[in-house]
């Protein structure tokens, strides 16, 4: 690992020295294999210049095009191109991908980009096909160890303070407004913090909205999350605090409330589901306007028609060169120039849509954010949760009723009543939930 100065460290120093600094940190979250498995790499509509990598498919079963997803070598090629472009400040990976690219390949040695790895994978990111884990209250869990992230083995040589892997990790917590569960979440976080401090491992803290119904009104979710963050970190001294936060964007008021509290705390936003291009560009613009200094985009980048052009637009927006709508027009111009078919027409891509701030986009317990054209008309109205009548489910696009709507017991507020469901009803509910999410 080289001693090259990283853009992340330069920007963190600038922001801490001057809270009014325009420095903005962008992270490309390429860690979805910790959540989605095969689908994590994204569709094959976009490949790097390296092109297609060999894959083994039996023609009598299916074709490569029918399968639809990139394989891991194709995914790694895209990460290499993102690093070569040099527009992001962090690339977040799983421990395994970090080992392949950081430790074995040395990809980041001569790059200003900082490698990072997901340091835990709580159960609310287990978005497994045909599974129902994300419908249950989040439980703490860690697959990766700090040593494996830093040096690729069970115990690093601590006689040196430079390691070939990543020395930055993402730790995620989900509070569900349940005393015992939230206490267990904080106990696990405490154990991680103490180990990280002992091993001089930096981390940033991701705080999700509750992944199950929590009793917190959607319009109050920003306050719930803000108070949890400040209360949880009040007992943590500087040596154990995160370098920055990664949270859902709950609108201008909630963002300003948090960032004004402590000028030493750097706040970032997570991207949520893919949505339209305007969703992505307006989110980063608005979050920065109201105080965020970091944006971590995963699906928004990974599902883009051309990832490098998409990242370029994000950077131009944060530097104040262009606005969100202008960036959408410019992005479509790049696609047209390159002969790439856009996912949506320009008019549709300029629309604002409901944004799921979760891994399981269909879960009624997860919060959704509606980005508006102004703080009064949209952003302050923050989240909207699923409000479907009993026995009805929306289709994958959210445009109407699914063709095979089924009945199951519902609570008075429209949420599924899991306690009274039979096993057959629960199976039907899970199947429809997955169909709505993945088609």
Question: Which pair of tokens denotes residue 32?
Answer: 């979805």
- Residue 430: beta bridge partners? none
The crossing angle, in degrees rounded to 10, of helices 277-289 and 324-338 is 140
Q: Which structure tokens are listed for 219?
A: 């319009």
β-pairing, 294-297 vs 202-208, is unpaired
The SS3 call for residue 348 is helix
Strand boundaries in 113-210, DSSP class E? 114-118, 168-174, 202-208
Whether 108 contacts 85, CB under 8 Å: no
**Where does 271-372 show beta strands of DSSP type E?**
294-297, 354-356, 368-370
Neighbours of 198 (CB within 10 A): 12
Q: Which H or E element spans position 29?
A: strand 25-30
- pLDDT tens, per residue, the chain with 439 residues: 456 899 999 999 999 999 889 999 999 999 999 999 999 999 999 999 999 999 888 988 888 888 889 999 999 999 999 999 999 999 999 999 999 999 999 999 999 999 999 999 999 999 999 999 999 999 999 999 999 999 999 999 999 889 999 999 999 999 999 999 999 999 999 999 999 999 999 999 999 999 999 999 999 999 999 999 999 999 999 999 999 999 999 999 999 999 999 999 999 999 988 789 999 999 999 999 999 999 999 999 999 999 999 999 999 999 999 999 999 999 999 999 999 999 999 999 999 986 554 455 544 444 555 555 433 233 333 333 332 223 333 333 333 333 334 467 877 556 677 778 777 777 677 666 555 544 4
Going from the N-terminus, what domains does the chain have, and what CATH number goes with each? 7-381 (3.20.20.70), 388-439 (no CATH)
């Amino acid at each position: 690992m080289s001693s090259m100065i990283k853009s992340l460290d330069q920007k963190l120093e600038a922001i801490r020295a001057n809270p009014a600094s325009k420095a903005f940190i962008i992270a490309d979250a390429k860690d979805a294999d910790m959540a989605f498995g095969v689908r994590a790499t994204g569709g094959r509509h976009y490949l790097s210049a390296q092109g297609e990598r060999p894959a083994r498919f039996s023609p009598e079963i299916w074709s490569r095009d029918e399968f639809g997803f990139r394989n891991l070598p194709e995914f790694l090629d895209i990460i290499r191109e993102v690093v070569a472009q040099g527009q992001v400040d962090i690339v977040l990976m799983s421990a395994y991908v970090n080992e392949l690219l950081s430790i074995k390949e040395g990809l980041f040695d001569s790059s200003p980009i900082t490698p990072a790895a997901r340091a835990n994978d709580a159960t609310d990111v287990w978005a497994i096909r045909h599974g129902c884990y994300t419908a249950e209250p989040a439980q703490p869990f860690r697959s990766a160890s700090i040593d494996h992230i830093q040096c690729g083995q069970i115990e690093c040589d601590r006689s040196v303070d430079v390691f070939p892997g990543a020395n930055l990790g993402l730790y995620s917590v989900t509070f569900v407004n349940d005393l015992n569960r939230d206490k267990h979440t904080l106990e696990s976080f405490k154990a991680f913090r103490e180990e990280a401090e002992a091993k001089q491992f930096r981390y940033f803290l991701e705080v999700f909205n509750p992944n199950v119904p929590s009793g917190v009104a959607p319009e109050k979710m920003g306050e719930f999350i803000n108070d949890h963050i400040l209360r949880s970190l009040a007992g943590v001294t500087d040596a154990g605090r995160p370098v920055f936060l990664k949270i859902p964007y709950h609108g201008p008021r909630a963002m300003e409330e948090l960032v004004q509290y402590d000028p030493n705390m750097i706040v970032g936003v997570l991207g949520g589901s893919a949505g339209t291009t305007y969703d992505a560009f307006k989110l980063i613009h608005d979050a920065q306007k109201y105080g965020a200094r970091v944006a971590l985009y995963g699906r928004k980048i990974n599902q883009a028609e051309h990832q490098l052009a998409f990242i370029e637009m994000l950077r131009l927006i944060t530097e104040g060169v262009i606005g969100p709508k202008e960036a959408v027009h410019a992005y479509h111009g790049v696609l047209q120039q390159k002969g790439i078919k856009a996912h949506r027409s320009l008019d549709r891509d300029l629309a604002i849509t409901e944004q799921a701030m979760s891994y399981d986009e269909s879960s009624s317990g997860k919060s959704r954010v509606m980005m508006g054209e102004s703080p009064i008309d949209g952003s302050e109205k923050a989240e909207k949760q699923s409000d479907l009548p009993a026995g009805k489910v929306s289709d994958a696009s959210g445009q109407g009723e699914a063709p095979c709507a089924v009945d199951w017991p519902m609570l008075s507020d429209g949420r599924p009543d899991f306690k009274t469901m039979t096993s057959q009803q629960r199976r039907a509910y899970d199947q429809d939930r997955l169909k709505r999410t993945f088609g």
